[in-house]
């Protein structure tokens, strides 16, 4: 059935707009999780949260994969820290949720995959990446295995493993300290210098609103200038 001129004009403008939007991103666009992921992150991503609004890093306490308490103090005087907070096991804020409930955020898996693929560039800049997986209650930690599997299949399956620490935020304590709760957390990235001071903070307003690897490396370069 032939379309009227207005419809053809609208489709043409929409298509051209999409081409322009995609062309503005330097990272490739992937169609969807399972068959590739949708995630053109931002190469230009200036801090959007004031460092003064963030609690002292000594208050940001986590649990490691073995259930042992850990914090960021061990990196002071030695490394910058790129703290990446994922959304966690989404859909588990419901009190009836079990360790079998919830889903894995494809954007988080893709972001993690890209950081893992470029991990050596972070270590070259005297930085450690610490990835945070928020959990509502005990038992949900077991689903981190699903997250790790998603990371390995995201972004075309380029990453077989990742070498940076993965920690948990039990009961969303750090998420709430930072004021970023939203099923379970908004995507957020913080960079701390070797003295433990927060030098960069970016909290996403949507699932794909995240700084790219390029943007993070540029922030580290600025911090390392002194």
Which residue's structure tokens are 């081409």? 19
Average pLDDT rounded to a whole number, residues 198-203: 97
Q: Give the per-residue pLDDT at 108.
A: 95
Q: Give the per-residue pLDDT at 38.
A: 53
User: Among candidates 57, 78, 77, which has minimal Cα distance to 132?
Assistant: 57
State yes or no: pLDDT of 217 exceeds 50.
Answer: yes
pLDDT grade for 39, boundaries at 50, 70 and 90: low
Distance CA 102, CA 98 (A): 8
The domain locations on the chain are 41-224
pLDDT grade for 159, boundaries at 50, 70 and 90: confident
Q: How far is CA 69 from CA 78, 165, 189, in A?
A: 20, 13, 21
At 129-153, the pLDDT tens digits run 999 999 998 888 888 999 999 999 9
pLDDT grade for 29, boundaries at 50, 70 and 90: very low
Distance CA 107, CA 102 (A): 15
State yes or no: pLDDT of 37 exceeds 80.
Answer: no
Q: Is CATH 3.40.50.9100 the classification given to domain 41-224?
A: no
Query: Of 156 and 207, which is predicted with more confidence?
Result: 207
Kindly report the average pLDDT of the chain as a whole number.
84
Total-model pTM: 0.82
Partner residues linked to 89 by β-bridges: 104
pLDDT grade for 222, boundaries at 50, 70 and 90: very high
């Amino acid at each position: 059935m032939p379309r009227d001129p207005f419809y053809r004009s609208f489709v043409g403008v929409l298509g051209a707009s999409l081409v322009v939007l995609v062309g503005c991103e330097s990272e490739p666009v992937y169609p969807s999780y399972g068959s590739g992921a949708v995630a053109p992150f931002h190469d230009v991503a200036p801090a959007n949260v004031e460092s003064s609004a963030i609690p002292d890093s000594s208050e940001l306490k986590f649990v490691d994969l073995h259930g042992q308490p850990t914090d960021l103090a061990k990196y002071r005087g030695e490394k910058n820290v790129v703290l990446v907070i994922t959304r966690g096991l989404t859909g588990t804020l419901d009190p009836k949720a079990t360790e079998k409930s919830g889903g894995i955020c494809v954007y988080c898996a893709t972001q993690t995959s890209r950081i893992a693929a470029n991990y050596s560039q972070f270590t070259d800049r005297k930085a450690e990446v610490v990835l945070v997986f928020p959990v509502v209650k005990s038992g949900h930690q077991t689903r981190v295995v699903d997250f790790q599997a998603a990371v390995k299949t995201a972004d075309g399956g380029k990453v077989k493993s990742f070498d940076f620490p993965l920690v948990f935020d039990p009961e969303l304590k750090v998420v709430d300290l930072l004021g970023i709760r939203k099923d379970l957390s908004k995507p957020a990235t913080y960079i701390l210098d070797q003295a433990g001071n927060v030098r960069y903070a970016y909290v996403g307003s949507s699932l794909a609103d995240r700084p790219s690897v390029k943007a993070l490396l540029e922030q580290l370069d600025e911090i390392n200038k002194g």
